[in-house]
Amino acid sequence: MSPSPAATAPLDVLRGALRDAAHAVGGDSQAGERATLERPKRDDFGDYATNVAMLLAPVVGGPPRDIAGKVGEELQTRLGPLLERVDVAGPGFLNLFLSDDWHAAALAHVLAAGDAFGGGEAPVAEKINVEFVSANPTGPLHVGHARNAAYGDALSRIFAFHGHEVTREYYVNDFGSQIARLAESVRARAKGEDVAEDGYQGDYVQAIADAIPDAATMDLDALGQRSVALMTERIRDSLHFFGVNFDVWFSERSLHEPKPALAGQDPVTHAFERLAELDQTYAHEDALWLRSSAHGDDKDRVLVRSTGDHTYFASDIAYMLDKRERGFDRLMYVLGADHHGYKARMAAAYESLGGDVASLDLLIMQFVHLVERGERSSMSKRSGEFVTLDDLVAEIGVDAARWFLLQRSHDTTIDLDLDLAREESSDNPVYYVQYAHARIASVLDKAGADRVAAALAAERAAVAMHPAEKALVKKLLMFPAEIAEAATRRAPHRVSSYALELAQTFTAFYRDCQVVGAEGDGVEDLRIALCVASQTTIATALRLLGVSTPDTM
RNA sequence: GCGCCCGUAGCUCAGUGGAUAGAGUGCUUGCCUCCGGAGCAAGAAGUCGCAGGUUCGAAUCCUGCCGGGCGCGCCA
């Protein structure tokens, strides 16, 4: 074994050899760079397979299988004993069979990286603002917000792990007519009266009224602010309990107040001036319009109504400018499904402010349906009230809630099966993954801390590896690519899929390979090392999802 | 009418150009002297909505259609 086996990532060794081999056969073509290097579905197709010969065929001419043969020879020369053999298969695939040494070096690489394994690989580190949830502080968070919260938070964790700098931000809509409506609703409750038809009807309104001693008499505007503050506190607490914490709670109201940094100007006026400088607005019929149709929107949008009132969109654009002036490389908005009609105007606003839409992400979360006893309850209880985030967490717990909300792509509607999520058994994927983690803790505990430390420090003997051991090593090696994929495609569900697969692969290894007391020179060392690497990687994946990693269950 | 998302196993869903399309769940059948059985194995189960096109190769890319969800205010 070489002195520093962990220095180069094992897949990079393969990738490099593949590139060189492709150049040797195909000259300057980019085939080596574009070639796939993937785990094939069947074991007899090798540890890894590549389509490089099919890509070279049009360049060098000749049958892909002949070209594959040449590339195979080049690969064998470059990889030497790391490559056991290479087969030409099917239309011209190359199937690579890696040696035990290569697998051992790969495991050493994973262990050396520790809990940083899979992270820090972003090619360019960006400063990213992720705005999510941003529910109106006029009522408690419901299940749709829960999905938004779980998603935005997991995405933020993945970005940070991948190497970006992330700011989590919540936009508090504490301004405008809905606040007055909330104040009136609270006042009615405080007086023991019925809430108006278009007011807020929920029980939480009474709770707010009860918490404000002079709610029946105080100034309506002050009551609105007091109510919003209480509601925002409650939302903050719910999210905190759900494992979601924001760096910035941004007040919409503050956009309409003078700001010292703007020489006493308010941000909305500041934005209007900026847009005027850029010739992005015009006056028409006593209103102020944004030329949004020049940037892909269906029509121009009003910023100031003929009545002189600002539209909600005016606040949005002022807020967007504020973010831009704070120096983010990327603005990300996690929006509810009912907001997708706003995508075009938000993108137009961004361009109007001089932004490049390539650095703007508008992500639409699809709906959540709750299913119980096979019936859709479509987010609402018998009473007509929404099922809240707090209800959901009380019902199935934080871990199951986050897992079930995160295991599917954000752009598909999900049916959340409460009965399954409540199940504390192997039927429930989140328990299955946590169980693997706890089981490893138990095995390592049985081996003893000293034994584990010795195993990790040991010179790795030349052990003939079991297929289940090799499969586990290769599954571990997939993690960095999964993280990169999850980050670039804004897809936290890739991480939960991977966590489940890794837990399954570990469990197969555990079934086939006795760890503690394993016979043979260096075998127990190897298996303990595999346990440690697996536990660390499972823990990292669960941490990115915001799911706990219990040592005992 | 226009726009966005979705259509893959009974159900819930992975799979954004590769070989015989996968997982969970449900169903059938096995497995507990054994490091955690909260587990494991095997089996049955699919016209990848339909029809064209692009190419060595399409669930994946393009076009049209069908079906479902959502959205289209000088509301917030």
SS3 per residue for A356-388: CHHHEEEEEECCEEEEECCEECCCECCCCCECE
Task: Read off the pLDDT of each residue in A375-390 and give the average, rounded to a whole number.
Answer: 63
**Measured distance CA(A335)–CA(A341) in Å, rounded:** 10
Nucleotide at minimal C1' distance from the A416 CA: B12
Task: From the CA of A366 to the C1' of B45: give the distance in Å.
Answer: 29
Task: From the CA of A483 to the C1' of B30: give the distance in Å.
Answer: 38
Q: Where are the domains of chain A?
A: 10-98, 426-545
Please name the residue whose C-alpha is nearest to the C1' of nucleotide B71.
Answer: A341
Task: From the CA of A292 to the C1' of B72: give the distance in Å.
Answer: 15
Q: Which CATH number fits domain A426-545: 3.60.10.10, 3.40.50.1980, 3.30.460.80, 1.10.730.10?
A: 1.10.730.10
Task: Find tokens 């043969």 and name the residue.
Answer: A69
What is the model's pLDDT at position A426?
61
Strands (E), A115-175: 127-131, 165-172
Q: Is the pLDDT of residue A6 over 70?
A: no
Position with higher pLDDT, A90 vs A157: A157
Task: Read off the pLDDT of each residue in A177-202 and give the average, rounded to a whole number.
Answer: 92
Q: How many CB atoms are located within 10 Å of the residue A151 CB? A: 25
What is the model's pLDDT at position A365?
94
Task: From the CA of A356 to the C1' of B51: give the distance in Å.
Answer: 39
What is the model's pLDDT at position A182?
95
Q: Could you give the count of Cα atoms lying within 13 Å of A373 in the half-sphere of its Cβ?
A: 0
Here the tokens at position A533 are 């690497």
What is the model's pLDDT at position A385?
54
Nucleotide at minimal C1' distance from the A310 CA: B74
What is the model's pLDDT at position A373?
74
**Measured distance CA(A258)–CA(A32) in Å, rounded:** 58
Q: Could you give the count of Cα atoms lying within 13 Å of A183 in the half-sphere of its Cβ?
A: 19
In tens, the pLDDT along A238-266 reads 999 999 999 999 999 999 999 999 999 99
What is the model's pLDDT at position A2?
39
In tens, the pLDDT along A83-129 reads 999 999 888 999 999 999 999 999 999 999 999 999 999 999 999 99
What is the model's pLDDT at position A30?
82
pLDDT bracket for residue A7 (50, 70, 90): low
DSSP for A143-159? HHHHHHHHHHHHHHHHH
Position with higher pLDDT, A32 vs A335: A335
In tens, the pLDDT along A423-465 reads 766 668 899 999 999 999 999 999 999 999 999 998 877 889 9
pLDDT bracket for residue A57 (50, 70, 90): confident
Nucleotide at minimal C1' distance from the A515 CA: B35
Q: Could you give the count of Cα atoms lying within 13 Å of A272 in the half-sphere of its Cβ?
A: 19
In tens, the pLDDT along A297-336 reads 989 999 999 999 999 999 999 999 999 999 999 999 999 9
Task: Read off the pLDDT of each residue in A326-355 and give the average, rounded to a whole number.
Answer: 94
Task: From the CA of A346 to the C1' of B20: give the distance in Å.
Answer: 47
Q: Is the pLDDT of residue A203 over 50?
A: yes
Please name the residue whose C-alpha is nearest to the C1' of nucleotide B13.
Answer: A408
Please, are residues A172 and A250 in contact by the beta-carbon 8 Å criterion? yes
Please name the residue whose C-alpha is nearest to the C1' of nucleotide B19.
Answer: A90
Please name the residue whose C-alpha is nearest to the C1' of nucleotide B12.
Answer: A415
What is the model's pLDDT at position A484?
95
What is the model's pLDDT at position A43?
83
3-state secondary structure at position A289 = strand
The rounded percent of chain A whose pLDDT value lies above 70 is 96
Task: From the CA of A37 to the C1' of B30: give the distance in Å.
Answer: 38
Task: Read off the pLDDT of each residue in A182-208 and give the average, rounded to a whole number.
Answer: 92
Nucleotide at minimal C1' distance from the A301 CA: B74
**Measured distance CA(A413)–CA(A90) in Å, rounded:** 39
Task: From the CA of A41 to the C1' of B18: give the distance in Å.
Answer: 12
Nucleotide at minimal C1' distance from the A428 CA: B24
Please name the residue whose C-alpha is nearest to the C1' of nucleotide B37.
Answer: A426
Nucleotide at minimal C1' distance from the A412 CA: B6
Give me chain A's average pLDDT, please. 92
Which bases of strand B sit closer than 7 A to a protein CB?
Answer: 3-7, 11-16, 18-26, 34-41, 56, 69-76
- What's A257's DSSP letter? S
In tens, the pLDDT along A525-547 reads 999 999 999 999 999 999 999 99
Nucleotide at minimal C1' distance from the A41 CA: B19
Task: From the CA of A336 to the C1' of B6: give the distance in Å.
Answer: 16
Burial tier of A547 (Cβ tally within 10 Å: 0-12, 13-18, 19+): buried
Architecture of domain A10-98 in CATH? 2-Layer Sandwich (3.30)
The rounded percent of chain A whose pLDDT value lies above 90 is 79
**Measured distance CA(A297)–CA(A50) in Å, rounded:** 44
Task: From the CA of A20 to the C1' of B27: give the distance in Å.
Answer: 51
Task: From the CA of A175 to the C1' of B76: give the distance in Å.
Answer: 10
Please name the residue whose C-alpha is nearest to the C1' of nucleotide B14.
Answer: A497
Task: From the CA of A412 to the C1' of B7: give the distance in Å.
Answer: 11
In degrees rounded to 5, what are phi and psi of residue A426? -65, -20
For the stretch A272-290, what's the b/e string if a residue is b when 16 or more beta carbons lie within 10 angstroms of its beta carbon? bebbeeeebbeeeeebbbb
Nucleotide at minimal C1' distance from the A501 CA: B23
Burial tier of A122 (Cβ tally within 10 Å: 0-12, 13-18, 19+): middle
Nucleotide at minimal C1' distance from the A423 CA: B38
- Measured in residues, chain A has a length of 553
Task: From the CA of A373 to the C1' of B36: give the distance in Å.
Answer: 31
pLDDT bracket for residue A381 (50, 70, 90): very low
What is the model's pLDDT at position A44?
84
Nucleotide at minimal C1' distance from the A434 CA: B38
Task: From the CA of A44 to the C1' of B20: give the distance in Å.
Answer: 13
What is the model's pLDDT at position A380?
47
